């Protein structure tokens, strides 16, 4: 082992002044959103340095994926970002389908159902982000409202797939089942119910002066720093860049669907502050509702269910992609979710799989944007990043 120089971490701890204190936050602290441990060097109330320690939820995704077939790995991808399982498996399935070269043959109805459930899941995931952010700041009511509305989404997805959180619904070449009879109507009811509820949430929280004073101009993330740290999703968009892989890569049926890309404008303070990140998620929910309506329009008109429609008709019997390396990226609620496959062309098992988790990168920027803030603001910054530790640690 050729370790010589002390690492940055060792230096930071060794050089802490006698007036400074090293404070541990987490891993079992509610405001760290899971099992994140932060070592914070503080001078009184002021944060000098933040050192995140991750890995408490490491479940060896990449090691498991080397021993399982592509189809068997789908439930494992669900467990990475457990708040947005549909989006995770959608990305995985698209990657495998592209490698097999069957991505153009998937029936339109299946693609629209995939987009529909992904966007439902995106709303559910953002609702958790917004609700728990309220709790971090000290507002309890929005949390209950968000969970009340998310419950409808959970019930619908449970109806379609059989489970509430980890669906295993999107399969390579098709779906687990077709949508249950009456799903489209139920979904439309939900959309009509949900629109006014979002307006209520905005009145209660987004435009609330206490909330604005607590989040505006806090944790400002400049655009160049965001890009250099590989931030993506709402984090990057809040810094003012309209970068959405659904538009950039135009995968699935997104090119046929109309939606805007919300970006931070610094309405309440500086572009890229905590309020902007919150606001981008609010706007994205709006856009997702819009996407869902368009999907429902198609699913209820020209792509209507027929009695002979079988979502498993095109499942490949054996999934053996030819030998290659392939990186696929897709937009999950937290940002750019990527899978890097290395296949040998002989077996049904990939040689190596690497998952590029958006939360992992979004979290790494924390120490950069929280130097010199108050400890209370540090909590506001962590909440605004919206990490899911299942994905950070994989």
Partner 1 sequence: MSFEEIKELIARKFGENAIAGEEHTGLQPALQIKPDIIAEVCMELRDNEQTYFDMLSCLSGVDYGVEENMFGVIYNLASIPNKTQLTLKVKKYHDRSREELPSFPTVSSVWRTADWHEREAYDLMGIWFDGHPDLRRILLPDDWEGYPLRKDYQVQEYYHGIKVN
CB of 106 within 8 A of CB of 384?
no
Least distance from C-beta 62 to partner 1, angstroms?
A: 6
Paired strand residues for 41: 22, 49
* 94/85 Cα distance (integer angstroms): 14
* 303/221 Cα distance (integer angstroms): 43
Please give the size of the binding site for partner 1, defined by CB under 8 A.
43
Closer CB to partner 1, 8 or 371, in the complex: 8
* Positions in 126-185 near partner 1 (CB under 8 A): none
16 forms part of the interface with partner 1 (CB under 8 A): no
The alpha-carbon radius of gyration of the chain (Å, integer) is 22
Element (H, E) at 189: helix 183-201
109 forms part of the interface with partner 1 (CB under 8 A): no
**70-82 burial code (b ≥16 CB/10 A, e <16):** bbebbebbbbbbb
* 368/307 Cα distance (integer angstroms): 56
Least distance from C-beta 133 to partner 1, angstroms?
A: 24
371 forms part of the interface with partner 1 (CB under 8 A): no
Closer CB to partner 1, 66 or 297, in the complex: 66
7 forms part of the interface with partner 1 (CB under 8 A): yes
2 forms part of the interface with partner 1 (CB under 8 A): yes
* Sequence-distant (≥ 6) Cβ neighbours of residue 261 within 8 angstroms: 237, 242, 243, 244, 247, 287
Least distance from C-beta 121 to partner 1, angstroms?
A: 23
> Which DSSP category does 204 fall into?
I
The candidate with the shortest Cα–Cα distance to 166, out of 254, 66, 59, is 59
Least distance from C-beta 347 to partner 1, angstroms?
A: 13
248 forms part of the interface with partner 1 (CB under 8 A): yes
CB of 128 within 8 A of CB of 150?
yes
**361, 386, 390, 391: which one binds partner 1 (CB under 8 A):** 361
Closer CB to partner 1, 212 or 223, in the complex: 223
Helix, strand, or coil (residue 350): coil
* Positions in 47-76 near partner 1 (CB under 8 A): 54-55, 58, 60, 62-63, 66
30 forms part of the interface with partner 1 (CB under 8 A): no
Phi, psi dihedral angles at 90 (to 5 degrees): -60, -45
The candidate with the shortest Cα–Cα distance to 134, out of 386, 363, 391, 364, is 386
304 forms part of the interface with partner 1 (CB under 8 A): no
DSSP string, 312-323: TTT--SS--PPS
243 forms part of the interface with partner 1 (CB under 8 A): yes
257 forms part of the interface with partner 1 (CB under 8 A): no
If phi over 0 gives left and psi between -120 and 50 gives alpha, with beta otherwise, what is residue 33? left
* Positions in 200-229 near partner 1 (CB under 8 A): 227-229
Q: What tokens appear for 42 in the block?
A: 């503080």
Only one of the segments 70-78, 213-221, 355-363, 374-382 lies at the binding site for partner 1 (rule: CB under 8 A); that segment is: 355-363
24 forms part of the interface with partner 1 (CB under 8 A): no
CB count within 10 Å of CB 6 equals 11
Least distance from C-beta 119 to partner 1, angstroms?
A: 23
Identify the sign of the CA torsion 224, 370, 330, 56: positive
The candidate with the shortest Cα–Cα distance to 260, out of 272, 277, 246, is 246
Closer CB to partner 1, 298 or 334, in the complex: 334
**23, 144, 199, 323: which one binds partner 1 (CB under 8 A):** 323
334 forms part of the interface with partner 1 (CB under 8 A): no
Least distance from C-beta 322 to partner 1, angstroms?
A: 7
Least distance from C-beta 229 to partner 1, angstroms?
A: 5
Least distance from C-beta 240 to partner 1, angstroms?
A: 12
For partner 1, the binding residues (CB under 8 A) are 1-3, 7-9, 54-55, 58, 60, 62-63, 66, 98-99, 227-230, 241, 243, 248, 322-327, 329, 336, 338, 340, 342, 351-352, 354, 356, 360-361, 364, 368, 393-394
């Amino acid at each position: 082992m050729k370790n010589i120089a002390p690492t940055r971490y060792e230096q930071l701890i060794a050089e802490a002044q006698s007036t400074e204190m090293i404070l541990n936050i987490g891993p079992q602290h509610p405001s760290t959103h899971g099992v994140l441990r932060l070592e914070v060097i503080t001078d009184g109330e002021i944060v000098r340095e933040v050192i995140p320690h991750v890995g408490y939820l490491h479940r060896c995704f990449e090691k498991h994926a080397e021993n399982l077939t592509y189809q068997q790995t789908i439930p494992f991808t669900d467990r990475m970002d457990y708040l947005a399982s549909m989006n995770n498996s959608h990305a995985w399935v698209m990657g495998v389908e592209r490698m097999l070269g069957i991505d153009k043959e998937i029936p339109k109805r299946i693609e629209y159902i995939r987009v529909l459930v992904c966007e439902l899941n995106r709303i559910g995931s953002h609702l958790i982000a917004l609700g728990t952010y309220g709790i971090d700041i000290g507002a309890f009511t929005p949390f209950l409202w968000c969970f009340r509305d998310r419950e409808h989404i959970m019930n619908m997805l449970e109806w379609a797939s059989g489970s509430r959180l980890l669906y295993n619904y999107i399969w390579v070449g098709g779906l687990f089942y077709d949508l249950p009879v009456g799903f489209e109507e139920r979904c439309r009811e939900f959309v009509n119910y949900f629109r006014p509820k979002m307006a209520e949430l905005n009145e209660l929280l987004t435009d609330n002066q206490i909330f604005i004073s607590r989040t505006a101009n806090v944790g400002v993330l400049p655009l160049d720093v965001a890009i250099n740290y590989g931030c993506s999703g709402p984090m990057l968009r809040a810094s003012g860049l309209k970068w959405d892989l659904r538009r950039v890569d135009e995968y699935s049926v997104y090119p046929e669907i109309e939606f805007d890309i919300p970006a931070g404008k610094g309405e309440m303070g500086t572009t890229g502050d905590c309020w902007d990140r919150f606001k981008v998620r609010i706007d994205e929910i709006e856009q997702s509702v819009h996407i869902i309506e368009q999907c429902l329009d198609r699913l209820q008109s020209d792509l209507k269910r027929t009695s002979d429609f079988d979502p498993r008709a095109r499942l490949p019997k054996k999934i053996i992609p030819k030998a290659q390396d392939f990186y696929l990226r897709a937009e999950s609620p937290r940002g750019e979710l990527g899978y890097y496959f290395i296949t040998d062309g002989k077996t049904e098992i990939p040689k190596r799989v690497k998952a590029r988790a958006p939360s992992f990168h979004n979290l790494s920027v924390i120490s950069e944007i929280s130097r010199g803030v108050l400890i209370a603001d540090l909590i506001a910054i962590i909440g605004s990043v919206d990490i899911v530790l299942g994905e950070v640690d994989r």
